[in-house]
Structure 1
Amino acid sequence: GAIVFGAMALGQASAFAPDAGKAKMSAAHIFQLLNSEPKIDVYSEAGQKDIPVNSRVRFDGLRFRYPTRPDVEVLQGLSLEVDPGETVALVGASGCGKSTTVQLVERFYDPEEGTVYLDNNNIKDLNIQWLRKQIGIVSQEPVLFDCSIAENIAYGDNSREVPMAEIIEAARKANIHNFIQGLPKGYETMCGDKGTQLSGGQKQRVAIARGLVRNPKILLLDEATSALDTESEKIVQEALDKAREGRTCIVIAHRLSTIQNADKICVIKHGQVAEQGRHNELMSKHGIYYRLVTTAQSRRGKS
């Protein structure tokens, strides 16, 4: 009996062997992640801060490849200047390096070659937390947390306790205050896990309010309306236009119709700026931008 019982126990234990192997591998990955040292220390106290910001952004000869794709050079000597208070739109085919430029301004990565300047300062010489405090970012898929709308907006500035008056002011600028006021619990309404209680357009406007609550000098909009339907896009676009006022703004556009009033449009191809100018100038050149716009229009016409 003991032998049979032992054999059964062994059989049951061996059934767990594959899972034990998986658990061991997963643990190894977790420890590897915990032990890895980031190239950019976000908690570093080093670097200049509390200096006047004029909000001129300049990319000078940037070369960059992602660590996970070392054989693909995304930026190949990109140079570009954004004047204070100017809205510059970056357009180009998917994978041409538009979003990469935004990630380099925020210092999520550093370029292999070349420099990103804020005014005349190399951003590597600035305190990273202070630098990021000057920048607001609104991306395609905003991440909302399962807490109140007010807390989600206040999350945009973790350096202090954000007063309710400022949360409401940011919501007004983002065209969402009236909607929130109309909810039974107002600003205390829970957003649900990943914002499931809100529509795409509402989530995006909460994200805009979150980006504005720190009163950033520079606004980065990374395909902020590309996941929305036409009606929501119109409302969100109005909020973005309001948010841009008086700020330096870099827009990454998926839908070309949203950026025709930008101060400057830069077409990126093969990791460099291939063309730049205002919408009408670029259309009259009949170059890459003209082809992108006419292709987009013919697609819309067919649909």
Structure 2
Amino acid sequence: MILKHLKAKEWALMVACTGFIVLQVWLDLEIPDYMYQITKLLMQPGVTVEQIMAQGWPMLGLALGSLGTALVIGYIAAYVATSLAKRVRAMQFHKVQSFSANEINKFSTASLITRATNDVTQVQMAVAIGLQVIIKAPIMAGWAIIKISGKSWQWTSATAVAIIVMLTLIGVLMYFVVPRFKKIQWLTDDVNRNMRENLKGIRVIRAFNAEMYQEKKFEKANEELTANNLFTGRAMSLMMPVMTSVIGLLSLSIYWIGALLIDAAVGIPARIGLFSDMIVYIAYAMQVVMGFMMLVIVFFILPRAIVSARRIEEIIDTEPSIKDGTVASGPGNGEIEFDKVCFKYPGAADYVLKDISFKADHGETIAFIGSTGSGKSTIVNLLLRSYDVTEGSVKVDGVDVRDYTQEALHQKMGYVPQKAMLFSGTVFSNVAYGDMSSERTEADVRTAVAIAQGAEFVEGMKGGYYASIAQGGTNVSGGQKQRLSIARAVCRRPEIYIFDDSFSALDYRTDRCLRSALKKETADVTSVIVAQRVGTILDADKIVVLDNGSVVGIGKHHELLDTCPVYREIVESQLTEEDMRR
């Protein structure tokens, strides 16, 4: 239940809110009694204004009191609802931060965004309105029924018929509408997914003139959501006209029954009493009907809110498959060892990596090369512990990565992803990014950018090292993004550098200059390089050749040329015979 995330203060406010609602209902239901007295006075000859106002002033006071309690109830409801929404949204964000790639793929990015935004809004709206309506409606209806129960069985019967008609209508509509309400949030996920895909791939879409194809995909998801919303909207739109008709017919029946009763009464006093009772009864009957009308408002909101709450709870209750170990820190020199590692993705039948074993000592550069899909990036993911191995072990500084806390493990590493990722901010904030950013000075950032061969273009930007970077780095080129991404890893001063095909966006001259500068910077640090270009890894201390998830060769460049046919085939496809033997 989503309400379990409320704090003690908010529960106390809800109790107080209930008290104010009871007070408001009492004030509202006392007003008809004064109306009864005023009506009787008006029917008497010689009545004065002072006598009328003697009943009118208390009645006005009750109305103002009801207004005041309504304001307090609204304030409390808004505070509780927004506090819960803020907390639940933060809990979702925190939980998603702990998710491995497996959990993120399970929910999908579009669904995670919808759950943290649209779903939270649905819950917030339900709590805000529910506190004012769900509690008030039954109290008001029940109390008003008690007030009118002894007035006249004819009027009570008319009111009972009206209530039965309303309950029947609500029941029928809910039977057809609630299942549709439950689908809306999932259909919203589909629309968001299509929109996100379209925005991310807009260049490819335009390059292939695929706008119409994407529009059809989006239109299909959009039409399904629209049709669902139209069905629920049209069904619920029947509610208010029928309710209005019931109220009108109930009022008419009360007047008609009252006219018959008054006509049958003997004597003026008796008729005056019946007329006053009729006026009061109508007021109470309207309170009963209003109570049920407020419940209708709840039925508009509650089904979607329940679905949203379950979706939010699904995120919060999901346990990450990657759990922290107990090793929080320790001396290390960047030694890496894979011992008989096998891995397959969750739910997959085939292994992506099979019996992978190698070791990189302190200060060594170890490189991985192989055809697309051979498992190079998967090795990086296991080293970063984006996934856990299926069999075997991955060790850093002699400790299994599963025994480290994730913070301690990641502090040892400077990671440059295959697809460079920049965040909205400045050049400085992107390069000094991470848990040690407060320790980095402008001099550190300048040095890191210079090593990454980015000083020229950064200093040419307006603002230099404090130049603005758009979300995703859309205001810089692919090569510039890659260099800033490399600078970020250098600025971290890690024990292990991980370059996951990080030089592919660079021209050959920049690539050569960058590797030369990095060689000096990383002389005493372990480096892991995943590459497609043979030229990038020629000077590596160890080259691991992968083919279909298996190691088919380990050694230096010249050794592998003679001992590993797979490596020689890759080299021959990229280098001349003269370059191969350099």
Gaps of 5+ in 2: 1-178, 190-307, 577-582
Report deviation, 1:261.
Answer: 1.0
Aligned residue identity for 2:338: F
Q: 1:160 to 1:230 in 2, by over 3 A?
A: same
The AA in structure 2 aligned to 1:267 is V
Identify, as 1 or 2, the structure richer in strand. 1
**Relative CO higher for 1 or 2, CA cutoff 8 Å, sep ≥ 6?**
1
Q: 1:275 aligns with which of 545, 550, 553?
A: 553
Change (3 A) 1:235 1:146: farther
Aligned position for 1:285: 563
CA 289–23 in structure 1, closer or farther in 2 if over 3 Å, else same: same
SS at match of 1:38: coil
Deviation per CA, 1:74-104, whole angstroms, max 9, x where unpaired? Answer: 1111111111111111111111111111111
Stretch of structure 1 that moved more, 46-55 or 234-243: 234-243
- TM-score w.r.t. structure 2 length? 0.45
Name the structure 1 match of 2:353: 75
TM-score by length of 1: 0.82
How far the C-alpha of 1:231 sits from its partner, in A, is 4.8
State the AA in 2 paired with 1:281: E
- Structure 2 vs 1, CA of residues 55 and 142 (structure 1 numbering), >3 Å: closer, same or farther? same
Secondary structure of the 2:492 match is: coil
Whether 1:221 aligns to 2:499 is yes
- The structure 2 residue matched to 1:24, chosen from 147, 169, 186, is 186
- Maintained 8 Å contact 1:156/1:211: no
Q: Secondary structure at the match of 2:573?
A: helix
Deviation digits for residues 128-166 of structure 1 (CA, Å, limit 9, x no counterpart): 201100101112211111211001112144574533332
8 Å CA contact 1:222, 1:252 repeated in 2: yes
Residue of structure 2 aligned with 1:133, choices 411, 430, 433: 411
Cα distance, 1:21 vs. partner? Answer: 3.4
Output the CA distance in 2 between the equivalents of 1:99 and 1:190: 31
Secondary structure in 2 matching 1:70: coil
Q: Structure 2 counterpart of 1:107, which letter?
A: R
Contact kept, 8 Å, 2:453 with 2:510, in 1: the verdict is no
Task: Indicate whether 1:51 and 2:213 are aligned.
Answer: no
More helix by share: 2
Q: 1: CA distance between counterparts of 2:485 and 2:538?
A: 23
Show the counterpart of 2:264.
none
Q: Is the 8 A contact 1:96 1:271 kept in 2?
A: yes
1:197 aligns with 475
Number of equivalenced pairs: 279
Tell me which residue corresponds to 1:148: 426
Instruction: Tell me which moved more, 245-254 or 222-231.
Output: 222-231
1:48, 1:127 within 8 Å by CA — same for their partners in 2? yes
Instruction: Name 1:62's counterpart in structure 2.
Output: 341
CA contact (8 A) 1:59 1:117 kept: yes
Q: State yes or no: 1:36 paired with 2:318.
A: yes
- Deviation, structure 1 residue 245: 2.5
Conserved? CA contact 1:225–1:237, under 8 Å: no
Relative distance call for 1:175 and 1:156 in structure 2 (3 A) is farther
2:342 alignment partner AA: R
User: Structure 1: which amino acid aligns with 2:445?
Assistant: I
Code of the residue aligned with 2:539 in structure 1: it is N
**Distance change in 2, residues 1:226/1:33 (3 Å):** farther
2:431–2:488: 8 Å Cα contact kept in structure 1? yes
Tell me, in whole angstroms, the C-alpha distance in 2 between the residues paired with 1:158 and 1:21.
Answer: 45
User: Which runs of no fewer than 5 residues in structure 1 stay unpaired?
Assistant: 1-16, 299-303
Counterpart of 1:147 in structure 2: which amino acid? G
SS in 2 for 1:140: coil
CA shift in 2, pair 1:232/1:159, >3 Å:
closer
Larger of the two Rg values belongs to structure: 2
Give the direction of change, closer, same or farther, for the CA distance of 1:100–1:29 in structure 2 (3 Å limit): farther
Superposition map of 1:118-129 within 5 A = 118-129=396-407
The aligned counterpart of 2:441 is 163
Give the C-alpha shift of residue 111 in structure 1: 0.3
CA–CA separation in structure 1 for the residues paired with 2:315 and 2:535: 42
Report if aligned partners of 1:219, 1:248 keep a CA contact under 8 Å in 2. yes
Query: Is contact 1:174–1:242 with CA below 8 Å preserved after alignment?
Result: no
What is the aligned partner in structure 1 of residue 573 from structure 2?
295
Contact conserved, 1:157 with 1:213, CA < 8 A, in 2? Answer: no
* More moved, 165-174 vs 237-246: 237-246
Deviation at 1:240, TM superposition (A): 4.1
Q: What is the percentage of aligned positions where both structures have the same residue? A: 35
Superposed displacement of residue 232, structure 1: 4.6
Is residue 95 of structure 1 aligned with residue 373 of structure 2?
yes
- Cα distance in structure 2, aligned partners of 1:281 and 1:175: 31
Instruction: Give the superposed CA RMSD.
Output: 2.6
Q: What's the counterpart of residue 484 of structure 2?
A: 206
- Partners in 2 of 1:37 and 1:164 — Cα distance? 40
Cα 1:139/1:19, change in 2 over 3 Å: farther
| CA-to-aligned-CA distance 1:276-295 (integer Å, 9 cap, x gap) | 11111111236211111112
Counterpart Cα distance in 1 of 2:435 and 2:451: 16
Evaluate the alpha carbon distance shift between residue 190 and residue 75 of structure 1 in structure 2; reply closer, same or farther with a 3 A threshold.
same
